[in-house]
Structure 1
Amino acid sequence: MECTGQNSSLGNHTALVEFILIGFSDVPNLQGFLFGVFLIIYFLILMGNSLIITITKVEPSLQTPMYFFLRNFSLLEICYVSVTVPRLLADLCRQHGKISFLSCAIQMYFFLILADTECFILTAMAYDRYVAICNPLLYPVIMNDRLCMQMAVACWTTAIPVHIGFTSMVFSSTFCGCNHLDHFFCEAPAVVQLICGDAFMIEMLLYLITTLVASIPSFLIVGSYVKIVSTILRLPSATGRAKAFSTCFSHLMVVTLFYGSGICVYFKSKNSRSTGMDKFLSLFYTILIPILNPIIYCLRNKDAMVALEKFLHKWIVL
């Protein structure tokens, strides 16, 4: 969208103090409908992931490393969507998307941290499945409480110092001219596009961070599942093979959806970007995948469904 009026008069030498998130203002007739849809989705994400956190915490049968990481993953999803969706709902309600530099920087910072944390937790979940299936006799020894806690802490904290530096670098740059951010939140590639002058070093740093965060975990996940599939195919029991494949398929589905859509946005060159497609893909991994996770991990998991039924029955009886 082109800048008009006051924004176009800023010129190339006047520093900006705020952004205007375009969001979905190009479809004004759908603002109310989109608000209702996103509000319902946000509520379902909070409810679904909160249920997973609760049942994996209180049900004795789910006190295993797999459900410990699933609990962390569900908490992450709640934080992840809460960085973007409430702001999106507010902008749809107010019919404008003005956001200050500080708010934009905070939103981008936490979004990047949580996105990286999701990559790391998915990797930890893949390692857990690898040990459980490939080394079942040693599983309780290897995946002990101490290691699980250390892995969880590492997943949640590793990206913090990296993105303090990156976000500081981006927002210490000069933004001038058009302040329209053609997105529904302050996503890094969209913000970097508005930097004045040569942003080559920042773009390269973004590609480097994305490459490391995406490639290393994805290689570890793929390597784990190559060994997992090889082991599953050697299982004598058809029931055992089906159960193992079912658990692994759920995890691989989440990994593929998350990595696939994220890579399409963050690895595009500046000249090949399509703002409409980028917004669609961003909706995919910021809203659609988090709402699918409770379905994928609970409805397709017999143990989780049994625990959920027991939990709901207790509350209904009370």
Structure 2
Amino acid sequence: MKNQTAITTFILLGLTDDVQLQILLFVFLFLSYTLSLSGNLTIITLTLIDSHLKTPMYLFLQNFSFLEISFTTACVPRFLYSISSGDKSITYDACASQLLFTDLFAVAEFFLLATMSYDRYVAICKPLHYMTITNSRICKNVILFCWVAALIIILPPISWGLGLEFCDSNIIDHFCCDASPILKISCSDTWLIEQMVIVCAVLTFIITLMCVVLSYIYIIKTVLRILFPLHLHLCQQVKQAFNDSI
């Protein structure tokens, strides 16, 4: 039997050991993170202070910007620190926290994107009922549902993963704590948790993708239904003008 010891620290290998590539990567990630942070903070600030931006669409956009900030902050600063300092170690608790928050924010983003697509469907296809269907109270409840649904989806595999044992290695072949590389170095039986991760990911992707696709199909149909008569009317006017000129 293998000698099982309690792992308290992991080593993140990162993306490359080439110093020049690391410098380029650091500059690119730092600029991208700064622009993303400043842009999303600007959106949040404007939607909070401008009374004209209190509609459901901007409420969803405000929360999406918050999720973007949270998701990137959960993994990018730690990676930038690792590149600049050369310290690739991360504690077990920090790794578990990073995995929990990145998955939570990512799944919540998927559900929020689906909700935003439905909001656009109602605004375009049912404009007279828009304020009734998507009032402020309903929007806040839907946003809360996105967070709760994301938490319910990720909690089973995350809680199960906390019981994993690590025997031979604590080296994670990744730049952040992710499920796949962590499962690879575990000496526990990971079949069940792997299936749980796959099922949760597939269900999340399929449900949200279907919502987005169906919403935009109905939006396109509605727009074409509006534009097609206008196109026929314009053609008739051009034809009539041409006949009159002759």
Deviation at 1:27, TM superposition (A): 2.0
Give me the whole-angstrom Cα distance separating, in 1, the residues matched to 2:168 and 2:58. 50
Does structure 2 retain, via aligned residues, the 8 Å contact 1:25–1:95?
A: no
Partner residue of 1:119 out of 103, 110, 120:
110
Map of 2:197 onto structure 1? 206
Deviation at 1:237, TM superposition (A): 8.6
SS of the counterpart of 1:172? coil
1:137 alignment partner AA: L
Deviation at 1:36, TM superposition (A): 2.3
Deviation at 1:190, TM superposition (A): 1.7
Partner residue of 1:145 out of 133, 136, 141:
136
Deviation at 1:89, TM superposition (A): 0.8
| 1:14 lines up with 2:4 in the alignment | yes
| 1:225 lines up with 2:216 in the alignment | yes
- The normalised TM-score by structure 1 is 0.68
Does structure 2 retain, via aligned residues, the 8 Å contact 1:20–1:99?
A: yes
Give me the whole-angstrom Cα distance separating, in 1, the residues matched to 2:109 and 2:176. 19
Residues 189 and 151 of structure 1: is their aligned pair in 2 closer, same or farther, counting only changes over 3 Å?
Answer: same
- Per-residue CA shift, 1:116-143, capped at 9, x if unaligned? 1000100110110010011011111111
Sequence identity, in percent? 37
Partner residue of 1:72 out of 32, 47, 63:
63
Deviation at 1:171, TM superposition (A): 2.3
Deviation at 1:196, TM superposition (A): 1.0
Map of 2:206 onto structure 1? 215
| 1:86 lines up with 2:84 in the alignment | no
- Per-residue CA shift, 1:219-260, capped at 9, x if unaligned? 111111111111111114999xxxxxxxxxxxxxxxxxxxxx
2:216 alignment partner AA: Y
Q: Count the aligned residue pairs.
A: 229
Map of 1:310 onto structure 2? none
Deviation at 1:162, TM superposition (A): 3.6
Map of 2:244 onto structure 1? none
- The normalised TM-score by structure 2 is 0.87
| 1:177 lines up with 2:174 in the alignment | no
Q: Which has the larger radius of gyration?
A: 2
Map of 2:98 onto structure 1? 107
- Per-residue CA shift, 1:263-315, capped at 9, x if unaligned? xxxxxxxxxxxxxxxxxxxxxxxxxxxxxxxxxxxxxxxxxxxxxxxxxxxxx
Give the aligned CA root-mean-square deviation in angstroms.
1.9
- Per-residue CA shift, 1:41-82, capped at 9, x if unaligned? 111111000111112222233221111101110011000100
Deviation at 1:12, TM superposition (A): 4.5
| 1:130 lines up with 2:121 in the alignment | yes
Does structure 1 retain, via aligned residues, the 8 Å contact 2:154–2:200?
A: no
Give me the whole-angstrom Cα distance separating, in 2, the residues matched to 1:28 and 1:199. 35
Deviation at 1:163, TM superposition (A): 2.5
- Per-residue CA shift, 1:84-104, capped at 9, x if unaligned? 011001101111310111111
Structure 2 residue ranges without an equivalent (≥5): 231-246
| 1:164 lines up with 2:164 in the alignment | no
SS of the counterpart of 2:145? helix
1:189 alignment partner AA: S
SS of the counterpart of 1:99? strand
